[in-house]
Structure 1
Amino acid sequence: MVKVLVSLDQLVSEIEIGIEDTFTYIDVTTGEVITLTREEIRAAEDEQPLENFPEWQRENIQRAICILEDEQEKYADFTLKNDYNEYELIEEFISTLEDEEMNEALNTAIIGKGAFRRFKDKIIQFGIDKQWYTYKENKIKELVIEWCIEHDIEFQK
């Protein structure tokens, strides 16, 4: 089977979007990234009639059937987004900051309910929001590249 290149940016986007109850697969023969909902996978598993679903969802259920019945290992299960933890990444980012006051303020901001909102407000206030987004994107890319190498998936940057 000839392997094609998968878009690194598309895989990174899948993680950044991080929609709950979705599962992502890579068609290693075409490089296509396929995202399915839990409902679509369940419909395929339960062999529910396609007529029970809206037209727009039928194609994904068909894809889910193909993925579930995949004996040629044409589809790779891209579950990396389930291993991604933005809170841990925020903690890592804060630990890289040398400014004690900034470090302390951000560590305080990420405690309790509303932590992500307070963190974002603080990084904007400190003018380090671009630094955070670059850090985050680079870390996600590293994770995706590592996953692709482990699963023998070739990618393009």
Structure 2
Amino acid sequence: MTDDEAGGTMLDLAVVDLDMLESALEDRSYESTWFLDRQTGEVIYRPDDLAGEFEEEMEDRDLVVIEADDPHAAYRDMADFVAGIADERTRELLTVAIQGPGAFRRFKDTLYRYPDLWDEFSGIRRVAERRRAIEWLRDNELVADADADAALAEL
């Protein structure tokens, strides 16, 4: 924990499991709830059917509910990636793949045929997810702006 300029207590970005936070922000199921402990930075997954079992354990904790992020963000990641592909034929194939229902599956199936592009997209997507996690922490005033800005600049 660190103190910010206004005297509040902030989490040290290093204590937050950003991989788990990314998973929480991507989870759009209606069968679970994710929390972040303001004191420890722990990201907690709780299946909703077990909510009663967790109630006592969680009542003394300072928790923030983690809501899934913008469902269109992952689509924008794909669309931006496709727009930047130099090879016209490959770009056209992937442009068609991301249209309409089932876009994510078709995109992955098509992209899988191009291992170099698969690796490139995986790296770009990973950075985008990490950025969204850090921005979520900053937007919810859980980490200092300066720490978030420094982490984002490193990405």
**TM-score (normalised: structure 2):** 0.69
Instruction: Write the mapping of 1:77-116 to structure 2, written as runs, cut at 5 A.
Output: 77-79=65-67, 81-85=68-72, 86-116=74-104
Q: What's 2:24 paired with? A: 14
Q: Would you identify which runs of 4 or more consecutive aligned residues in structure 1 move more than 6 Å?
A: none
Match of 1:132 among 118, 121, 126: 121
Deviation at 1:150, TM superposition (A): 1.7
Instruction: Write the mapping of 1:1-150 to structure 2, written as runs, cut at 5 A.
Output: 3-4=10-11, 5-16=15-26, 18=27, 20-21=29-30, 22-40=32-50, 58=53, 60-63=54-57, 66=59, 74-79=62-67, 81-85=68-72, 86-127=74-115, 128-150=117-139
Unaligned 5+ runs, structure 1: 42-49, 51-57
Q: What's 1:47 paired with? A: none
Deviation at 1:38, TM superposition (A): 3.9
Q: Which has the larger radius of gyration?
A: 1
Contact 2:82–2:95 (CA under 8 A) maintained in structure 1: yes
Unaligned 5+ runs, structure 2: 1-7
Counterpart secondary structure, 2:141: coil
Which residue identity does 1:23 align to in structure 2? T
Higher relative contact order (CA 8 A, sep 6+): 1
Distance in 2 of aligned mates of 1:119 and 1:2: 43
Counterpart secondary structure, 2:45: strand
Deviation at 1:139, TM superposition (A): 0.6
Which residue identity does 1:24 align to in structure 2? W
Report the count of equivalent residues: 133
Percent identity reads 25
- When residues 132 and 95 of structure 1 are mapped into structure 2, their CA distance, relative to the original with a 3 A threshold, is same
Deviation sequence 1:78-113 (CA, Å, 0-9, x none)? 22x242432232112212222221111001112234
**TM-score (normalised: structure 1):** 0.69
